[in-house]
Each structure stands twice: as structure tokens, then as C-alpha cells.
Amino acid sequence: MKELEIKLTGTRNLAETVVEIDDKPVQFKKNQFGSLVCRYQTANDHVNIKVKRLLDVGGLWWFITQLCFFLISILGIFDVRSHEKGLVLDFEAAVDLKTENNLTLRLNRPQADGKAINIETDLGCRELSNGYYLDTHAARTLKRLKFAKICCALATIVIAIGVLMTQI
């Protein structure tokens, strides 16, 4: 059995990043130095590594939930700032294994013409895809949400002024 140690850096939120080796999702754990490390065992001479990024964007119920969060957090004042832009990370690489196998995947920030992930390893590696892609449906949904939040805020302010004026 060959063991492959993968270190993942550059991501703050592991909930959004899914790493699959030979189409099986793998779990990362923090080591003593605080780095995310995964140890994978296989009998094969090659492995296929895929990295995907999950979007915090959904359908109608997600949309309604976000509006509720906006209202609960007092028109977004106490809400957590969202950095979601609808960008999908698509990375796939085939890696040849040796006796000792160490690989570091360094996630980059979303950028126009650069790579999504930099691979640091002395193993033979063939990149099949490596970049950020815009999910147009998600981007459109996020724009609609922004518009809906502005309308909600204006409606709340108008209603509040109306109630105050009737009381006076």
C-alpha cells in the first residue's frame, strides 16, 4: 500500500472546499502546526485528485432564508459579511505515486487568468483542469438577492416612518 500525504493551504473555510481522491471525498485534519493534512492509502500507482468549491447559493427556500436573516440581523447590520461571488473552483489532476508521496495544494484567491491551485510536489503531475469559473445562475441569484435586500430595507424604513407618523 502506498501512502499519500496531502497538505491543503490557503483556505479558511473547509466547509466550502471538497477534495476527492479517486472520486472519494477525503477528510482533512489539523496537524500540530495548524495545517490541514490528509493521509490517503492506496494500492494504485496513480491517483486522480479533484478539488471543488461549494457555493453558498441555493433555490427559493435559500433565497427566503437569506431575506429572513437580513431582517433578523436588523437590515444586515449584525449580519456576517458574505464574500460569495458565484465562483466555482474546478481542479483535477492525475498524480503518479512513488514510495514517499507528499503533495501541497495551495489555493489561490479567485483571479481572472491565473491558476486556482498551485501544486507543490516532486511527484509526476498532469493537470487536467485548474481554474475559477463563474456560475452564471448563482451570480444572477446573488444579484437578485442584493436587489431584494435593498427593497426590503426601503419597505421597512417606509413602514417604520408611517407607523411613527400615525402615532404622532
Partner 1 sequence: MNQQKTLSTPTKTLVRMQVVHLGKILFNLQFIGVAVMMASVLSFIMPAIYYLMLICAAVLSLFILLGYPTFRSLWAGGETLLQVADTLTRSWQYTVPIVAGLAVAAIVCLCFDKHQRHPARITVSVIIAALALFVLFLKIANTGVFA
Q: Extract the C-alpha cell encoding 69.
A: 436573516
- Contact letters for partner 1, residues 87-106 (x by CB under 8 A): xx-x----------------
Contact 96, 45 (CB under 8 A): yes
Residue 131 touching partner 1 (CB under 8 A): yes
Instruction: Tell me the three cell numbers of residue 150.
Output: 435593498
Identify the residue among 9, 35, 45, 58 touching partner 1 (CB under 8 A): 58
Name the amino acid, one letter, at 140.
Answer: R
* C-alpha–C-alpha distance, residues 5 and 28, integer Å: 10
Q: Does 35 bind partner 1 (CB under 8 A)?
A: no
* CB distance 18 to 25 below 8 Å: yes
Tell the burial category of 88 from Cβ atoms under 10 Å away from its Cβ (0-12, 13-18, 19+). middle
Residue 109: which residues within 8 A CB-CB, separation 6 or more? Answer: none
The interface region with partner 1, picked from 76-84, 93-101, 141-149, 159-167 by CB under 8 A, is: 76-84
Q: Could you say whether residue 136 binds partner 1 (CB under 8 A)? A: yes
Residue matched to cell numbers 440581523: 73
For partner 1, the binding residue among 137, 140, 143, 146 (CB under 8 A) is 137
Region from 82-90, 100-108, 120-128, 160-168 binding partner 1, contact rule CB under 8 A: 82-90
Can residue 133 be called a binding residue for partner 1 (CB under 8 A)? yes
Contacts to partner 1 by CB under 8 A:
13-15, 52-58, 62, 65, 69, 72-74, 78-80, 87-88, 90, 110, 112, 131-138
